[in-house]
């Protein structure tokens, strides 16, 4: 058995950090799953051992999001990016209009796909200031088929602290902050999230949808793009991404067994407060987003003296910190504080920032 030789503080934006015990369980299941003397990777997805995994992963999602019985959960392939197309394909009527809030690259990609499928209106956008804030006080037409929002903008480090109040069905891309804080799942018509930020490994995407909204578009549906087909098949219309679903299930179990959303939300707030306080205090760093919209998941910051970047890079690498580079569209630094990242790792980063200031300010 291969083991890690040291503790690395993993701030990767995605695929992101997973709990140590989940990785161990996942590794074991690759060798001997459920004492079958078979690997999880070499058994039928229709075996009763695997059916338990699918059922439990669906149930955990419903429980953690507090979803009523009219919601159905699916785990699909194709990433969150396929949902950019599947959402309008399944919810936008041929005569209807979809609304979008444009808060960054991911939202823009979702808008691009929706426009291919039907009438699409951008209701509000923060593109004028390079997506450094969340638009507010916009009017939502009440005849939209749905309004699409992105709860957390992974690249820019902004997060919606409250959601639009509207009678229009709300669709939310929660890829990078799902299960990080309390939300009332029933306020949304559809929630989707790629697993690899805060839920599991790459390869599976979770979709939870109010089933009563489906089957009303007036278009002929391709089977693999039809939510109703996947719901009917119990996420097994075709062979599902068996391993990513299994690891997602382990991660959700880890979350539940440790105290659930209430437990993790508190820790996530402590981590974010610790780091933002240091960014605001430290003369060598500045945050890149509007303070009221700061993300608790992806903390973005830059240096007023970029010529010192290589010195800072040396220090954090020496401290066994990994994954701190900012997205190429923003530059600077991005510390992703996903659920599995311990408070301890943020403390180490803050100590490095303080040592850096002592040396260079």
Task: Give the residues lining the site for ligand PLP (CB under 6 A).
Answer: 14, 79-81, 106, 150, 154, 173, 175-176, 194, 197
Out of 197, 254, 271, 293, the active site residue is 197
Q: How far is CA 350 from CA 177, 228, 276, 282, 325, in A?
A: 22, 48, 10, 10, 16
Exposure string over 171-180, b if 16+ CB within 10 A, otherwise e: bbbbbbbbbb
Closest-by-Cβ residue to ligand PLP is 79
Distance between CA atoms of residues 291 and 268, nearest Å: 17
Residue with Cβ nearer ligand PLP (205 or 217): 205
Q: Which residues pair with 301 in a beta bridge?
A: 287, 333
How far apart are CB 171 and ligand PLP at their closest, in Å? 12
Q: What is the helix (H) or strand (E) element at residue 190, kind and residue range? A: strand 190-194
Active site residue 197: yes
| H helices, E strands: number in the chain | 9, 14
How far apart are CB 56 and ligand PLP at their closest, in Å? 22
How far apart are CB 196 and ligand PLP at their closest, in Å? 6
Q: Which residues pair with 286 in a beta bridge?
A: 302
Out of 72, 106, 145, 316, the active site residue is 106
Active site residue 173: yes
Residue with Cβ nearer ligand PLP (108 or 269): 108
Out of 72, 145, 173, 226, the active site residue is 173
Residue with Cβ nearer ligand PLP (15 or 331): 15
Examine residue 15 and say whether the peptide bond preceding it is cis (omega within 30 degrees of 0).
Answer: yes
How far apart are CB 81 and ligand PLP at their closest, in Å? 3
3-state SS, residue 52: helix
How far apart are CB 146 and ligand PLP at their closest, in Å? 17
Residue with Cβ nearer ligand PLP (92 or 195): 195
| Listed residue (344, 248, 350, 254) closest to 299, CA to CA | 350
Residue with Cβ nearer ligand PLP (148 or 271): 148
Residue with Cβ nearer ligand PLP (90 or 176): 176
- CB neighbours (10 Å) of residue 242? 20
How far apart are CB 198 and ligand PLP at their closest, in Å? 9
Helix pair 309-318, 343-360: axis angle to 10 deg: 140
Q: Which residues pair with 190 in a beta bridge?
A: 171, 209
Which of the residues are catalytic? Answer: 106, 173, 197
């Amino acid at each position: 058995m291969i083991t890690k030789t040291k503790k690395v503080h993993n701030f990767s934006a995605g695929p992101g950090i997973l709990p140590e015990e989940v990785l161990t369980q996942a590794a074991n299941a690759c060798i001997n799953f459920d004492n079958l003397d078979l690997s999880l990777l070499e058994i039928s997805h229709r075996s009763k051992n695997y059916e338990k995994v699918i059922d439990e992963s669906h149930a955990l999602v419903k429980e953690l999001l507090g979803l009523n019985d009219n919601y159905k959960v699916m785990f699909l392939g194709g990433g969150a990016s396929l949902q950019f197309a599947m959402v309008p394909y399944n919810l936008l009527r041929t005569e209807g209009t979809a609304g979008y809030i444009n808060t960054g690259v991911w939202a823009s990609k979702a808008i691009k796909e929706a426009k291919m499928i039907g009438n699409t209106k951008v209701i509000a956008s923060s593109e004028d200031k390079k997506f450094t804030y969340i638009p507010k006080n916009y009017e939502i037409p009440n005849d939209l088929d749905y309004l699409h929002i992105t709860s957390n903008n992974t690249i820019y480090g902004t997060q919606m602290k409250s959601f639009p109040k509207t009678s229009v069905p709300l669709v939310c891309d929660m890829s990078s902050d799902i299960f990080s804080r309390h939300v009332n799942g029933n306020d949304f018509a559809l929630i989707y999230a790629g697993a690899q930020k805060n839920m599991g490994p790459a390869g599976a995407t979770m979709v939870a949808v109010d089933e009563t909204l489906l089957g009303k578009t007036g278009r002929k549906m391709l089977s693999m793009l039809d939510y109703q087909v996947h719901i009917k098949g119990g996420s097994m219309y075709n062979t599902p991404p068996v391993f990513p679903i299994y690891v997602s299930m382990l991660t959700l179990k880890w979350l539940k067994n440790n105290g659930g959303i209430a437990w993790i939300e508190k820790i996530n707030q402590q981590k974010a407060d610790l780091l933002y306080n240091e960014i605001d205090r430290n003369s060598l760093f500045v945050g890149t987003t509007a303070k009221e919209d700061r993300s608790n998941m992806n903390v973005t910051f830059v240096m007023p003296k970029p010529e010192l970047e290589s010195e800072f890079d040396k220090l954090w690498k020496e401290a066994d910190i990994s994954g701190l580079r900012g997205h190429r569209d923003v530059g600077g630094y991005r510390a992703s504080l996903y659920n599995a990242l311990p408070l301890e790792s943020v403390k180490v980063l803050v100590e490095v920032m303080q040592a850096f200031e002592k040396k260079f300010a």
